[in-house]
Amino acid sequence: MSPEAIKQDFESAIVKHFSFKARLRSFLHGNGNEQGPLRDPNQCGMGQWIAERRRGTYSHLSEMRELDRLHRLIHEQANRLMDLHVAGHREEALAGFGEVQVLADSIQGLLQTMEAKLRTAQA
């Protein structure tokens, strides 16, 4: 895979990741979204990206296991916040978004590390 193709692939992952956060934030603010991709790590775009690459292109990267773990953890947090919201604890749900953001930052940092590692190997 060329360095440019790697760059584009990781940019697509980051877009999927930002989309998840935006949809979750929107849900917590009362704008209904389809809950499946927010609740299920296997249904969301980022989860599908991870699953495809973990079995294929990036299977050799040790970071893939940690990326999958963090991704599943962020969905656990999303489920907890969505459950709070649905139960009428909207302020508490919104206040918990900071925990999601911490995980999201870790995921983004890991994606950047993986991309740099792959691009360096191609140079």
Q: Which domain CATH number covers 23?
A: 1.20.120.30
For residue 32, the enclosing domain spans 3-122
Asked whether the whole model's pTM tops 0.85, one would answer yes
Share of the chain above pLDDT 90, in %: 88
Q: What is the mean pLDDT of residues 27-36?
A: 87
Q: What is the mean pLDDT of residues 104-108?
A: 97
In this prediction, residue 34 carries a pLDDT of 81
How far apart, in whole angstroms, are the C-alpha atoms of residue 107 and residue 66? 9
Cα dihedral 24→68→9→46 (10° resolution): -30
Q: What domain count does the chain have?
A: 1
pLDDT tens sequence across 44-63: 999 999 999 999 999 999 99
